[in-house]
Amino acid sequence: MTELNRRSSNGARSHRRAILWSLAAIVAGAMLLPLTGYVYTAVAQDSAQTPTAAIAQKGGADLGDGQWQDSNPRARTWGEAREGVSGTTTAKGTETGVLIQNSGENWRQIRNGPVASLTPWLMLIAIVGVVLAWIFSGQHKLHEGRSGRVIMRWQLWERVLHWTVATLFIVMAITGLSLLFGRAVLIPVLGIEGFGVWASIAKSLHNYVGPFFTLCIAVLILAWVWFNFPSREDWAWFKAGGGFIKNRTVHAGRFNGGEKVWFWFVALVGGAVCVTGVIMDFPNFEQTRFTMQLSNVIHAVGGVAWISLFFGHAYIGTVGTEGALEGMTTGYVSAEWAKQHHDRWYEKVKDREQPESGVKGTGGAPTAS
């Protein structure tokens, strides 16, 4: 083995170790962060008392056609409130005169029913798909050995933007999934009191990190939209399975067909998740209750779909494709990787090839479009 190949092999092993440790940290965070609530519970358990539940006193019976049995005068008031009739309150604002909105129960049934019970299958299918891809296809290897020549693919600001979005995405995913599935998954396993504390922390993180995450997504879309318009070669890329099937050679510009699908998914579905999140985060814009309920359902379904597709994106960009992660960690990719995966882009920038020993880990020259 030549010295160059030895260095490349050691570098690849280092990248794999970094990937595995990163994935382990994400999994550990997802499992351990909810447990922080129990630290508070353990400290406060001697001084805190669990309030007893208030006993609801039954009112009169509904006789139909708006008629109520007068066994309890409060029953009539409660029935009128359930009808959603607007009254008069001292508070001013949208729908402040309506005490109870009946569609809220419909939203609760949808949110705790189909949304909470069916969306986990999306994540399971995505995880199974990643595992099957690894079993049957393995890592997409470079066809040629490394020559020691590299080309800058991502500038420093692009890498900072990408990793900022990725980090915030993980925070939003962990906190969002905790809030969405906490009642069904975390409470039965961990109990109520500790989860209550964690849910409060998760809700605050989700609400305060969300607007900054939305801003970063907007910047990412504006930065890369020009490279992601569909082309005729994208269809050929998909028919060839992106080169993963029998390591076939496919043509692509700076972004291939798969990357373009991921980009437009983030722009459209991710954009909808961000917009609905802002709607719920800032109710001072006079949103109606129905608008908030609809936004919640869209936010949950879109968010889970986003997380599910992220599994595939993370797999292909790390262990699934040899040399891919280097571009987003150092900014540079090997000339052989560029020729194999983005040959049209390589033809435009091949005059910028540099020796790997002279640029590894540095910012280097600007990337070409």
Residue 317 is part of a domain; what is its CATH number?
1.20.950.20
User: Within the chain, where are the H helices?
Assistant: 3-32, 36-44, 73-82, 103-110, 116-136, 156-181, 187-190, 193-224, 232-239, 257-265, 271-281, 289-317, 324-330, 335-341, 343-349, 356-359
106 lies in the same domain as 93: no
241 lies in the same domain as 109: yes
203 lies in the same domain as 275: yes
**Host H or E run for residue 350:** none
Tally of domains within the chain: 2
Instruction: Supply 13's token pair.
Output: 């092993």
Domain end point (choices 73, 100, 127): 100
Note whether residue 190 is domain-resident.
yes
Note whether residue 2 is domain-resident.
no
86 lies in the same domain as 165: no
Domain end point (choices 100, 128, 160): 100
87 lies in the same domain as 229: no
**What is the reported pTM?**
0.76
158 lies in the same domain as 87: no
142 lies in the same domain as 164: yes
305 lies in the same domain as 260: yes
Domain end point (choices 100, 128, 158): 100
Note whether residue 113 is domain-resident.
yes
Burial track 133-146 (b if 16+ CB lie within 10 A, e otherwise): beeeeebbebeeeb
Quote the pLDDT of residue 57. Answer: 42
Cα–Cα distances in angstroms (integers) from residue 276 to residues 44, 73, 189, 270, 302, in the given order: 36, 41, 30, 10, 10
Q: What is the pLDDT of residues 240-261, one digit of tens each?
A: 777 666 566 788 999 999 999 9
Quote the pLDDT of residue 6. Answer: 54
302 lies in the same domain as 338: yes
Instruction: Supply 179's token pair.
Output: 């809030």
Note whether residue 307 is domain-resident.
yes
Domain housing 83: 61-100
Quote the pLDDT of residue 1. Answer: 44
67 lies in the same domain as 117: no
Contact 152, 334 (CB under 8 A): no
239 lies in the same domain as 134: yes
Burial track 302-324 (b if 16+ CB lie within 10 A, e otherwise): bbbbbbbbbbbbbbbbbbbbbbb
Note whether residue 328 is domain-resident.
yes
Note whether residue 7 is domain-resident.
no
pLDDT less than 50: residues of the chain: 1, 4, 8, 48-59, 68, 362-369
Distance separating alpha carbons of residues 148 and 60, to the nearest angstrom: 83
Contact 353, 149 (CB under 8 A): yes
Note whether residue 290 is domain-resident.
yes
